[in-house]
Amino acid sequence: MALSFNPRLVRGVSRCHAIVTAKMALAASCRDFSAAEKSTVIVNLNDNTGVATIQLNRPPVNSLNLQLLTDIKIALDKLQMKKDCRGMILTSSSPGIFCAGLDFMEMHNPQEGRAREFWRSLQEVWKMLYGSRLATIAAINGHSPAGGCLLSLTCDYRVMAQGKFMIGLNETLLGMVAPFWFQDTMTNTIGHREAEKALQLGLLYSGENALNVGLIDELVPPEKVMQTAQVQMQTWLKIPDLARRLTKEQMRGPTLQKFVQRQNEDVDQIMKFIMDSATQRSLGIYLNTLKHKQLTSV
């Protein structure tokens, strides 16, 4: 009898092994803050440095569904309540994929109540991360399209892995419009002119081009991403917390205030869009072709 194996399963096993190994290595000085046994994030807080790590842990691609968003929120809540926690590194437990953006399954033929809850959770996670009192660094160890790019943009600094990875807000390529707060976060990072091009054309940048336009701050070999993020974190933590935090509040305040004013209106608009039959038809067509699609970067 011929033996066969499922490559996805094998990939899953080696990922699990890596997670267990990494957890063991951190065990000496770190506390595991993961929300629950079946949490889709792995959270550690290093008591010596005050730096926490949140690893997105929803294989294969960390697509943002309601559970992952909820787990991120719980983790952040817990960390922000800990006085001794001063910094947070956001990364993925699946090297090669940071986050594939919103989970298409949350958008395809959803129940309206669930869809509202999903969108409100996304809004909440964005608001918490963008306004976080912590110094935050995204260690982008793989692809980061759409909602994945948004998550990284909420951080104060971005380190990305060299390789064939892409990052950007590619919503228009899917026939969708990035909501105003996605657009604002992008514009605040790369400036109005570049954001105008990036958003209208749905550009997915290579690491090199992302670095050139300022979408990321450093591009390093994949095995150096975490280490670089940790070294960079020391620079941020040398600044007195209050001064750094108040400066962040002042810089990001106007964007957050605009968001809060329009938050409910944004939910209503999204619901109108997603519950529309034409949207669902195009999404269905897109999902059928997802397997054969090759995203290309500039």
Ligand X SMILES: CCCCCCCCCCC/C=C/C(=O)SCCNC(=O)CCNC(=O)[C@H](O)C(C)(C)COP(=O)(O)OP(=O)(O)OC[C@H]1O[C@@H](n2cnc3c(N)ncnc32)[C@H](O)[C@@H]1OP(=O)(O)O
SS3 29: coil
Tokens of 208: 């090199």
Residue nearer to ligand X on the CB measure, 56 or 146: 146
Q: Is 233 exposed, middle or buried (0-12, 13-18, 19+ CB in 10 A)?
A: buried
Query: Pick from 63, 92, 154, 187: which binds ligand X (CB under 6 A)?
Result: 63
Query: Pick from 75, 176, 190, 226: which binds ligand X (CB under 6 A)?
Result: 176
Tell me the β-bridge partners of 157. Answer: 137
**Kind of pairing, strands 166-168 and 205-206?**
antiparallel
Q: Is 112 exposed, middle or buried (0-12, 13-18, 19+ CB in 10 A)?
A: exposed
Smallest distance from ligand X to CB 142, Å: 8
What residues have CB less than 8 Å from 15, skipping those under 6 apart? 59, 93, 94
* Residue type (1 letter), 83: K
Question: Does the annotation mark 147 as catalytic?
Answer: yes
Residue 146 within binding range of ligand X, rule CB under 6 A: yes
Query: Pick from 100, 134, 153, 215: which binds ligand X (CB under 6 A)?
Result: 100
Query: Pick from 55, 68, 119, 248: which binds ligand X (CB under 6 A)?
Result: 119
**Kind of pairing, strands 51-56 and 41-46?**
antiparallel
Question: Does the annotation mark 171 as catalytic?
Answer: yes
Question: Does the annotation mark 79 as catalytic?
Answer: no
Spatial separation of the C-alpha atoms in residues 54 and 298, rounded to whole Å: 29
Residue 153 within binding range of ligand X, rule CB under 6 A: no
Query: Pick from 110, 168, 202, 207: which binds ligand X (CB under 6 A)?
Result: 110
Residue 97 within binding range of ligand X, rule CB under 6 A: yes
Determine which one of 69, 106, 141, 171 is catalytic: 171
Which of the residues are catalytic?
102, 147, 170-171
Contact positions vs ligand X (CB under 6 A)? 60-61, 63, 97, 100-107, 110, 115, 118-119, 143, 145-147, 170-171, 174, 176, 178-179, 270, 273-274, 290-291, 295
